[in-house]
């Protein structure tokens, strides 16, 4: 079972990465071009979102209705949370880093396979940021389980 899960996870990662490359999301210049409303605007990324969400909406709904994965495993959905300062501030900060570099977490990992040394700096800093939040600003919930 674990071997199958590992295979599925690897294949998913590859397909996801191929999608990021083909769509342009792994290319910082294209991402910044999308965020550059006042300049030469490249709307491409909007199509990426539409393509992704359009593909996933129905299957997600069907799976949720089914209640378990196709291999009869638990569906690990995020626990419903409030719209709080963490969500808003975090998203704002993320947007700044994203706008500055044109790189978000997924593309950062893909870039490791292209330009390892430079991407590694971004990824290392990203890991540090994640650790800092988990250490200094942990979620104050009754259970520490993040269902993601």
Partner 1 sequence: MNINWQEFSPLYSTFGGMLIGVAAVLLFAGLGRIAGITGIIAGLLQRKRKDHYWRLCFLAGLALAPVIYQVFAPLPEIQLQNNLSGLALSGLLVGVGTRLANGCTSGHGVCGLSRLSIRSLIATLMFMGSGFITVFVIHHLL
Cα–Cα nearest to 42, from 33, 53, 51, 52: 33
Cα–Cα nearest to 108, from 92, 90, 121: 121
CB distance 47 to 55 below 8 Å = no
Residues 69-108 that bind partner 1 (CB under 8 A): 69-71, 73-78, 80-81, 83, 86-106, 108
Between helix 28-35 and helix 85-101 the angle, nearest 10°, is 120
Contacts (Cβ under 8 Å, ≥6 apart) of 145: 79
Indicate whether 39 belongs to the interface with partner 1 (CB under 8 A). Answer: yes
Single out the residue of 65, 121, 142, 143 in contact with partner 1 (rule: CB under 8 A): 121
Output the smallest distance, CB 79 to partner 1, in A: 10
Indicate whether 143 belongs to the interface with partner 1 (CB under 8 A). Answer: no
Output the smallest distance, CB 142 to partner 1, in A: 16
Single out the residue of 65, 124, 140, 142 in contact with partner 1 (rule: CB under 8 A): 124
Output the smallest distance, CB 140 to partner 1, in A: 13
């Amino acid at each position: 079972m674990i071997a199958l899960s590992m295979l599925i996870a690897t294949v998913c990662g590859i397909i996801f990465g191929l999608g990021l490359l083909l769509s342009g999301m792994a290319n910082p210049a294209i991402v910044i071009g999308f965020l550059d409303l006042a300049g030469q605007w490249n709307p491409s990324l909007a199509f990426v979102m539409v393509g992704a969400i359009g593909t996933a909406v129905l299957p997600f709904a069907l799976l949720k209705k089914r209640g378990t994965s196709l291999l009869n495993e638990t569906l690990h959905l995020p626990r419903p949370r409030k719209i709080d300062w963490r969500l808003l501030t975090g998203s704002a900060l993320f947007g700044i880093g994203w706008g500055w570099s044109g790189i978000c977490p997924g593309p950062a990992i893909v870039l490791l396979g292209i330009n390892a040394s430079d991407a590694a700096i971004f990824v290392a800093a990203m890991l540090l940021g994640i650790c800092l939040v988990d250490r200094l600003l942990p979620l104050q919930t009754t259970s520490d389980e993040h269902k993601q």
